[in-house]
Chain A
Amino acid sequence: MSTADEIDLAFPENWHRRHLLDLESLSADEIQILLDTAQKLKELTGGCRNKLSLLAGKTLANLFFENSTRTRNSFSLAAKRLGADTVEFSSGGSSVAKGETFVDTAKTIEAMGVDWVCTRHVTPGTPHLLARELRCCVINAGDGPHEHPTQGLLDMLTIRQHRGRLDGLTVALVGDISHSRTARSNIWGLSKLGAHVIICGPPTLVSPRWQELGFEVAHNLDAILHRCDVLNLLRIQFERQKARPFPSVHEYAALYAMNGARMRRAKDDILIMAPGPINRGVEITPEVADGPHSVILEQVTNGIAVRMAALWLLSGAKDASNSTTPAEPIHYV
Chain B
Amino acid sequence: MSDLLIENGRVIDPSQGVDRQARLLIRNGLVAAIDPRHEEIPADCPRLDASGCIVAPGLVDLGVELREPGNEEDETIQSGSDAALAGGYTSILCTANTEPVIDSPGAVEFVRQKASRANGVRVHVIGCLSRQREGEQMAELGLLAEAGAVAFSDAPRPIANDALLKRSLDYCRMLNRVIIDIPEIPELAESGVMHEGQVSLTLGLKGLPTEAEDLAVARDVRLAEATSGRLHVGPVSTMGAVDMIRRVKSREIAVTASVCPHNLCLLDSELRSFDSRFKVHPPLRSRRHVETLREAVADGTIDAIQSGHRPRSREKKMNDLDLAPFGAATLETTLSTVSKFMIENGILTWPQAIDRLSTAPARIASIGGGSLAVGSLGDVVIIDPNAKWQVDASQFRSHCVSSPLDGQELSARVTHTIVGGVIRFQA
A331 to B404, CA, bound (A): 11
**A128 closest partner in B (C-beta):** B274
A332 to B269, CA, bound (A): 10
Of the candidates B287, B321, B322, B323, the one whose C-beta lies within 8 Å of that of A333 is B287
Question: Would you call B291 and A213 a contact (CB within 8 A)?
Answer: no
Question: Would you call A129 and B408 a contact (CB within 8 A)?
Answer: no
Query: Given A184-B202, A332-B266 in contact, is the A125-B291 Cβ separation under 8 Å?
Result: no
Question: Would you call A331 and B269 a contact (CB within 8 A)?
Answer: yes
Tell whether B320 is near chain A: CB-to-CB under 8 Å: yes
Query: Given A144-B204, A184-B204 in contact, is the A330-B318 Cβ separation under 8 Å?
Result: no
Of the candidates A126, A207, A328, the one whose C-beta lies within 8 Å of that of B273 is A328
The tally of residues in A whose CB lies under 8 Å from a CB in B reads: 31
Question: Would you call A129 and B274 a contact (CB within 8 A)?
Answer: yes
Question: Would you call B322 and A123 a contact (CB within 8 A)?
Answer: yes
CB distance from A79 to the nearest CB of B (A): 25
The tally of residues in B whose CB lies under 8 Å from a CB in A reads: 31
Contacts of B291 in A (CB 8 A): 333
A181 to B203, CA, bound (A): 9
Tell whether A265 is near chain B: CB-to-CB under 8 Å: no
- The interface bits of chain A over 98-115 (1 if a CB of B lies within 8 angstroms of the residue's CB, else 0) are 000111000000000000
Question: Would you call A122 and B190 a contact (CB within 8 A)?
Answer: no
Tell whether A24 is near chain B: CB-to-CB under 8 Å: yes
Tell whether B270 is near chain A: CB-to-CB under 8 Å: yes
Contacts of A126 in B (CB 8 A): 274, 320
Question: Would you call B274 and A124 a contact (CB within 8 A)?
Answer: yes
Tell whether B341 is near chain A: CB-to-CB under 8 Å: yes
Question: Would you call A209 and B201 a contact (CB within 8 A)?
Answer: yes
Contacts of B273 in A (CB 8 A): 128, 327-328
Contacts of A144 in B (CB 8 A): 204-205, 322
Question: Would you call B270 and A330 a contact (CB within 8 A)?
Answer: yes
A71 to B323, CA, bound (A): 25
- The interface bits of chain A over 31-56 (1 if a CB of B lies within 8 angstroms of the residue's CB, else 0) are 00000000000000000000000000
Contacts of B266 in A (CB 8 A): 330-333
Of the candidates B203, B290, B408, the one whose C-beta lies within 8 Å of that of A146 is B203
A129 to B322, CA, bound (A): 12
Contacts of A145 in B (CB 8 A): 204
A285 to B377, CA, bound (A): 77
Tell whether B113 is near chain A: CB-to-CB under 8 Å: no
A125-B274, A333-B290 given; 5 more Cβ-contact pairs under 8 Å: A122-B322, A123-B322, A146-B205, A328-B269, A333-B265
| 23 intermolecular pairs with C-beta atoms under 8 Å apart | A101-B315, A103-B319, A123-B320, A123-B322, A124-B203, A124-B321, A125-B274, A128-B274, A129-B274, A129-B320, A144-B204, A181-B204, A207-B201, A209-B198, A213-B201, A213-B202, A242-B190, A328-B272, A330-B408, A331-B267, A331-B270, A333-B265, A333-B341
Q: Which residues of A contact B (CB under 8 A)?
A: 24, 101-103, 121-126, 128-129, 143-147, 181, 184, 207, 209-210, 212-213, 242, 327-328, 330-333
